[in-house]
């Protein structure tokens, strides 16, 4: 069921988002609906994934300023 609502949103934000949607060929209403669903339903994340992510975060990292140069791509 489609419901029409009125919201008070800053005009500049609406204009920028509308332009973004137009440039990307997106339906603005669908994008807002997708965002709202994401906020209320949230992504389902498995505990195994969170554990794996935590191990990655604690891993050792090598700082690289120029990825292409570092790996011989330039």
Q: What is the DSSP string of 18-73?
A: HHHHHHHT--HHHHHHHHHHHHHH-----HHHHHHHHHHHTS-----S-HHHHTT-
pLDDT at 28: 94
Which of the pair, 13 or 50, is modelled with greater confidence?
Answer: 13
How far is it, in rounded angstroms, from Cα 72 to Cα 74?
6
- Angle at which helices 28-41 and 11-24 cross, to 10°: 110
For the cut 80, the answer to whether the pLDDT of residue 1 exceeds it is: no
In this prediction, residue 14 carries a pLDDT of: 95
Instruction: Summarize pLDDT for 17-70 with one digit per residue, the tens.
Output: 999 999 999 999 999 999 998 888 877 778 888 899 898 888 888 888 888 888
- In angstroms, the CA 74 to CA 68 distance is 6
């Amino acid at each position: 069921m489609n419901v029409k609502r009125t919201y008070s949103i800053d005009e500049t934000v609406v204009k920028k988002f509308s332009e973004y949607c137009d440039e990307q060929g997106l339906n603005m209403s669908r994008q807002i609906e997708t965002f709202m669903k994401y906020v209320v339903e949230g992504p389902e994340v498995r505990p195994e994934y969170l554990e794996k992510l935590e191990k990655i975060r604690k891993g050792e990292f090598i700082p690289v300023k120029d990825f292409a140069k570092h790996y011989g791509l330039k």
